[in-house]
Structure formats: C-alpha cells, structure tokens
Amino acid sequence: MNFEKLLKAAQEIKEKAYAPYSHFHVGAALLTPSGKMYTGCNVENTSYGLTICAERNAIFQMVNNGEQEIGEILVIGDTDEFLPPCGACRQVIAEFAAKDTIIYMCNRHGQFKKTSVAEIIPFSFSLDK
C-alpha cells in the first residue's frame, strides 16, 4: 500500500530536518503517477522567511528530476495532532496536483487524516487543471 511506503520514507527524512530554532522536525514524501518517490524535510534559517518546508522541499526535488505531477503526498511532524501543510505549501501542492489528489496529514504516531487538495485549498490560484 502506498501509505506505508510514504509514511516510512517521511519518518526517515524527518530525522534529517534542520530545525535548531523551532526544534520541530517535519518530513514529507510524495509519489508521482510514474511511481517515483521524492522526500523532503524542513530546513530552517535564522532569517525565518528563508526557511523551506518539508513539502516544498519534496516537490522541488520532484521538479528537479523532471516530473511535475503529484500522485499523493504525506506530511508528518512531531505533534499529536494531524499536521496540515502550511498555506504556502498548500498553494505549491495545488500547482502540481489535481483537485482530488490525496494528502495524508499524520501525527507523530503515524496516525493520519486523509484529505484532498480541493478540501485544504478550495480557492487556490490555478491554471484550471
């Protein structure tokens, strides 16, 4: 099942996060329709606006490797609540995903809430995909 593969990859990459300011490690993993997986972790900077989130890190890895479509994506952090993507990440996800693309929002225990792009950002800027 894709969920287990995504969860394992996101948990592993989360441990590599660079978060000396927030101490909040986040991992993301996505699968493309071709079956390739890309991962990312958050990388903080003392100038907080230059910080990159895990989701965008994974998406940019996907684009760097010549792909431009998210099949499904998972995000996990060190919280007991299900971790949703931030607003910036929601917009970037919407840029590379269909409205019905699955997003798994996980907590530290690997439990998840399944949602879609249309649910988390119903009024995204779009090229009407």
User: Is 67 noted as a catalytic residue in this protein?
Assistant: no
Cβ partners under 8 Å of residue 3, min gap 6: 74, 104, 112
The β-bridge relationship of strands 72-77 and 26-31 is antiparallel
Residue with tokens 């950002």: 121
Query: Packing angle between helix 54-64 and helix 2-14, nearest 10 degrees?
Result: 110
Q: Which of 44, 55, 67, 72 is catalytic?
A: 55
Q: Which residues are catalytic?
A: 55
